[in-house]
Structure 1
């Protein structure tokens, strides 16, 4: 039980431990009162919110929240798509393209459903490719909106840190004869730069990289689906449909052909469910 918990949560545990290590090193070097400087917090976080709200519409920000959440929680299941399309290829060979209508009605993934509709409408393969490639471009653009939001934050956070530093230095020079105010403004000046660097390098940039990987996985999935549907449209064999999709995966991620477990004519197709 403990081993299963460790394997499932290994990454999260390591990240949590490293965060605690960094937090302990900060608190041991800087007093908590100095670290939680209200002036620095106001300049950095208010500045980030204002910049983001001015730069992007609310729809982009809501999409950013959704895509970021999905990048942490949603796993891209290539196997499900490949087995689905292989089942479609088997079904089309047996019953023709019109037999896809029942599967279209229950398919929830919009990209795959749109491709199945194109198949069902007897669209030519080149037409299907052109439509699906444009769909992929549109989806990729929408996914990159979240990437661009965090890219902007990674750029402006250090700059706002410098703004906080300048504000602190101005306050320091304005109160040069008041020792307490000198120390308070000096703390705000230095902590602002620290906040800006931490937000940029430990939050924005890592999330950017994660979103970029999530985008790449989605684009690969769309390309696999497109390749499979085009082969079905060309009336290629179910085996070729499976193999040409399967080879697009990394070698260690490639799937076993269903026919190795049972004969294709007796193979129970993937059941599309609500």
Structure 2
């Protein structure tokens, strides 16, 4: 079935983990001591700028957009996609591929399924359809890998920026031991930068990178189902053979039994 809702696992994980840290800070009774503007600027700004060195600005901006897709998702389950393609294959086998035109109107203009079926309706050779769709799929995988790569790099950089902030704070403290009033602020920078870096890396960047990689794998599977279905319809193969091929792609829990 089609699902269009919040990704509860992502929201619960992010909200719950940050709530636990915030609760621990509040129970300590010294909330103000956990905020230090220089530390925030050093870790947040430094992580963003250093990560940008490894990528283009376009890739960094695209990664930020992908973060939103981990919270608000619209997914088609693999078995629903398989049943949909089998139903279309059964109709087209008896009445021809022009039966797909009415179905195309219900699909989003930018969907992989729409493009795969449109190529078949346009009468392109099946080998060319397969080549075009595979190139599109490869491009999508590369974009997703780039997005998750940005987050992985940010997860590496954030603790490093925390360590740099710690060294800055220690140098400031050691350089002003004769002034007791400067020791506290310097120690705050030293400790809080490490704290901010560890929180960002382990509670934000790294988990979201893993979720993006998981979502990408799911989307690749769905698009392979659509591609296999479209090329099978283009060849006018027996839908029973398509069912067998689809079940070789799908995980055991999602395998279909359309004709049984």
Query: What TM bracket, shorter-length normalisation?
Result: 0.7 to 0.9
Match of 2:103 in 1: 103
Does the aligned pair in 1 maintain the 2:11–2:71 contact within 8 Å?
A: no
How far, CA to CA, are the matches of 1:70 and 1:9 in structure 2? 13
From the superposition, tell whether residues 55 and 14 of structure 1 become closer, same or farther in structure 2 (CA, over 3 Å): closer
Match of 2:159 in 1: 158
Does the aligned pair in 1 maintain the 2:97–2:233 contact within 8 Å?
A: no
How far, CA to CA, are the matches of 1:228 and 1:37 in structure 2? 56
Match of 1:128 in 2: 129
How far, CA to CA, are the matches of 1:161 and 1:125 in structure 2? 54
Match of 1:235 in 2: 236
Number of corresponding residues: 252
Kindly indicate whether residue 82 of structure 2 is the aligned counterpart of residue 82 of structure 1. yes
Question: 5+ residue gaps in structure 2?
Answer: 1-6
From the superposition, tell whether residues 12 and 101 of structure 1 become closer, same or farther in structure 2 (CA, over 3 Å): closer
Question: 5+ residue gaps in structure 1?
Answer: 1-7, 261-274
How far, CA to CA, are the matches of 2:161 and 2:28 in structure 1? 23
Does the aligned pair in 1 maintain the 2:247–2:256 contact within 8 Å?
A: yes
Deviation at 1:39, TM superposition (A): 1.8
Query: SS state of the match for residue 76, structure 1?
Result: strand
Kindly indicate whether residue 69 of structure 2 is the aligned counterpart of residue 70 of structure 1. yes
Comparing 38-47 with 24-33, greater Cα deviation is found at 24-33
Match of 1:267 in 2: none
Deviation at 1:73, TM superposition (A): 2.3
Does the aligned pair in 2 maintain the 1:228–1:242 contact within 8 Å?
A: no
Query: SS state of the match for residue 107, structure 1?
Result: coil
From the superposition, tell whether residues 19 and 106 of structure 1 become closer, same or farther in structure 2 (CA, over 3 Å): closer
Q: CA RMSD in A?
A: 2.6
From the superposition, tell whether residues 214 and 29 of structure 1 become closer, same or farther in structure 2 (CA, over 3 Å): same
